[in-house]
Every structure is written in C-alpha cells, then in structure tokens.
Amino acid sequence: MFASALELKEVLAGLDYLVDKKTATVVFLALKLNKPLLIEGPSGVGKTELANVLALATSRQLIRLQCYEGLDEAKALYEWDYQKQLLRLHVEKNSGKDWGEVKQDIFTVEFILQRPLLKALMSPDPVVLLIDEVDKSDEEFESFLLEILSDYQVTIPEIGTIRASSIPLVVLTSNNTRQLSDALKRRCIHLYLDYPDAARELAIVRLKVPSLKQDLARQVVNFVQNLRREKLKKAPSIAETIDWARALLALKVDDLTEEVMDETINVLLKYQADIEKLGDKKISAYMP
C-alpha cells in the first residue's frame, strides 16, 4: 500500500492534509500491522479529517459510525428486517413447515439490515471504518466493540460468528470527554493529535486559504496561537482558524486591527464567556 511512512506523509500532503513525521509513522504502522488506530486530542485538530483522507489515499470507501450516549447494537451493528420476515412467514404459513424450520429460514443474513459496523465487516472490498467520538458512547458499548477491534469479527446469536470478508482500517476518535478503557486502548495503536505549532498552522492556513496575504496569515496564526494559552471554555480549533482566515479574506481585510478583531471574533470563539474574557485586552497583547 505504502512503502514507507515518508511516502504516506507525501500522499496525505497531496490531499491537503499536513502531518509531521511522527504522525505519519504511527498511521503507517497501523496500516502495516492491521491494527485499529485510536486518535485522541482536543476537538477540531483534524482527527475525523485524517480518517477521510486515509480513505481517499487508500481508495477505500469510508463507513462512519457517529457515537453518542445510548448508542446500541441495533443502531451500530444490525437490525432484523421485520417486514421482510413477516412477508416470508405469510408466504410459508401454508407450506406445512413447523416453527423450527421457519425460524431457520427467517433468521439468516438475508433478513439483516446492516448498520455501519456490520457493513464494514461484510464489505467484499477493504474499507475505512470510522468510529467517531467513541468517548461519547457508554462503557457497555465500548466493551461490545472489543471483539471487532481484536478479531475483526462479531457474534450474532441467531447466526453465529461473522468474520470480516476483508480487514477494514478502523479509525477511532476521542475528544477525551471520558477515560477509555485499557482493554480498548490495548487493541489499538494510539495517536495523540494536538494543536499544531505556529509553523505548521501557518502552512495549513496558506494551503487552505491560498489567497490570504502572507503577512495577514502570519498575524492570524500568531493571534490564535497566543489566544490558546488563555483558559478558555473552548480554544479555537484549526478549523476555526481557517474559517477566520476565510472571513478576513471575504471582508478584504489587509491588517488585523482592534476593529477587525471586534467585528469578527465570533467566527473564532464560540462562547460569549470566552469573548468577554478577552475584556479590554488589546490585540497587541496576543501578537509577538
């Protein structure tokens, strides 16, 4: 697939996703060893996007499971197609079969509605399975995932064990809203994505907003980098840095001034409490 971590790094860069050597190496090893990749870090640093670009880089379909509190097997793995089962029962009610025979007919793969996890396992072609924000799910669901993450198989009581037709690349993301179990982490290769340093964030902004003047791009990045040092309810993500840069470009701003900051800060900060925390500080306080 990829001869080296360096080749992977270059392919991702060609898809407008910039990673450092360490990140490229961890992802390369996950691919090489057929291990799930667990990506942790603050929201908005590119965890989900990494799964998206890996699907593009490997020419695989992306199958996404968005986790939330209360997520269960019926939504994540499979459901029985009850209408189809009832139709088969109606057809066979006069066939003379006993319930045991009919049960064998209607509890088969044919009558299963595939949800993301089962769809990924039963796909004839390799896929990227994104289990997004796994920390938002319950601990019981996390435990349910262990069989899939370790053996790429799942057990359905009425059918038995279904093994992956082809091993998917599993990417799990977490915003660290709760501690994940050691059992889950043990099955994965771990990657922590943090906010980028100024040089890499500047490279990202220039890549994503190429029309923005270089001096203004540098001002934007320096401001955001220093703003993240404040104790905010939600620090600006990379995505919000890019949005802010695009907003300044749309407004035809040439220089980051107090007035510009006041008029556009809502693009960067999402909580009024954070905006108010800036108070009377001048923009110069966040500039080198």
User: Considering the domain boundaries, does residue 287 fall inside one?
Assistant: no
pLDDT grade, residue 186 (50/70/90)? very high
DSSP per residue over 27-79, as a string?
HHHHHHHT--EEEE-STTSSHHHHHHHHHHHTT-EEEEEE--TT--HHHHTEE
Give residue 97's pLDDT.
60
**237 and 212 share a domain?**
yes
**179 and 205 share a domain?**
no
Q: What is the CATH number of the domain that holds 188?
A: 3.40.50.300
**152 and 203 share a domain?**
no
The C-alpha angle with vertex 23 and arms to 131 and 230, in degrees rounded to 5, equals 85
Tell me the whole-structure pTM to 2 decimals.
Answer: 0.86
User: Considering the domain boundaries, does residue 93 fall inside one?
Assistant: no
**140 and 170 share a domain?**
yes
Give residue 27's pLDDT.
97
Give residue 122's pLDDT.
93
> Average of pLDDT values for 165-176?
95
**133 and 58 share a domain?**
yes
**187 and 221 share a domain?**
no
> Average of pLDDT values for 164-184?
94
Give residue 103's pLDDT.
58
User: Considering the domain boundaries, does residue 94 fall inside one?
Assistant: no
Give residue 93's pLDDT.
64
Enter the tokens of residue 252: 């035809």
Determine the Cα–Cα distance for residues 34 and 170; give it in Å rounded to an integer. Answer: 9
Give residue 132's pLDDT.
97
Give residue 73's pLDDT.
85
Give residue 259's pLDDT.
87
Q: Which of 145, 173, 192 is the last residue of a domain?
A: 192
Question: 117: Cβ–Cβ under 8 A, 6 or more apart, which residues?
Answer: 65, 76, 77, 129, 148, 154
Q: Which of 153, 171, 192 is the last residue of a domain?
A: 192
- Say if residue 157 is exposed, middle or buried (CB neighbours under 10 Å; 0-12, 13-18, 19+): exposed
In this predicted model, what pLDDT tens digit does every residue of 223-245 receive, in sequence order?
999 999 888 899 999 999 999 99
Enter the tokens of residue 35: 């291990």
Containing domain of residue 186, as a range? 5-69+123-192
**141 and 271 share a domain?**
no
User: Considering the domain boundaries, does residue 115 fall inside one?
Assistant: no
Whether residue 217 has pLDDT greater than 90: yes
Domain count within the chain? 2
Determine the Cα–Cα distance for residues 235 and 51; give it in Å rounded to an integer. Answer: 23
**237 and 208 share a domain?**
yes
Q: Residue 233, SS3?
A: coil
In this predicted model, what pLDDT tens digit does every residue of 52-98 receive, in sequence order?
999 999 999 999 999 999 998 889 998 887 777 677 666 666 666 65
**221 and 275 share a domain?**
yes
Q: Which of 144, 177, 192 is the last residue of a domain?
A: 192
Determine the Cα–Cα distance for residues 83 and 260; give it in Å rounded to an integer. Answer: 59
User: Considering the domain boundaries, does residue 215 fall inside one?
Assistant: yes
Dihedral sign from CA coordinates of 136, 137, 140, 145: negative
**137 and 62 share a domain?**
yes
> Average of pLDDT values for 157-171?
90
Give residue 99's pLDDT.
54
Our measurement of the distance from residue 202's CA atom to the centroid of its chain's CA atoms, rounded to an integer in Å, reads 23
DSSP annotation of 165: S
**52 and 181 share a domain?**
yes
Give residue 36's pLDDT.
97
DSSP annotation of 251: T
**29 and 156 share a domain?**
yes
Give residue 9's pLDDT.
96
In this predicted model, what pLDDT tens digit does every residue of 258-283 receive, in sequence order?
889 888 999 999 999 888 887 766 66
